[in-house]
Amino acid sequence: MSHGLLPGPTEHVIPPCSAAIAGRAGYWSWLLVALLTDPSKELYGVEIGAAAGLPSGTVHLILARLETVGWLTSRWEDIDPRAEGRPARRYYQFTPDGLELARAALARAYSATARPAWLRPLGEES
């Protein structure tokens, strides 16, 4: 069952992900695909937005939602903004459960979009 931007966390199937499955599933899936490219790496908002092809406002709303539901953790970069000549960045990374749930969410998005009903064997549900 879907609740707002995110699918419900029920299945735990872990297939490969690609931008093709994000195309029909929504903005949240584009962002998940961007984060799943290298799930061990921390990324900051502008990097995520560039990888997902989404504007900053959209990205940060989704990131906040993912953090609220426990899929992501974040931390502020420890720098001197004056010395660096830019503001500190907020870095995001999947929690262990969030990583599994993100993969499962994309699996559901993929299974719902990869095989239209007319291509599925009789009796198979999406």
Please name every residue paired with 6 in a beta bridge, in sequence order, or none if there are none. 3
Mind giving me the DSSP string for 55-102?
A: -HHHHHHHHHHHHHTTSEEEEE----HHHHTSPPPEEEEE-HHHHHHH
Sketch out the chain's domains with CATH numbers. 13-114 (1.10.10.10)
Cβ atoms of 22 and 54 within 8 Å: the answer is no
pLDDT, tens digit (0-9, with 9 covering 90-100), for 41-71: 999 999 999 999 999 999 999 999 999 999 9
Whether residue 19 has pLDDT greater than 50: no
In sequence order, the 6+-apart residues with CB closer than 8 A to the CB of 108 are 7, 11
Residues 71-120 pLDDT 10s: 999 999 999 999 999 999 999 999 999 999 999 988 887 775 555 555 55
pTM over 0.85: no
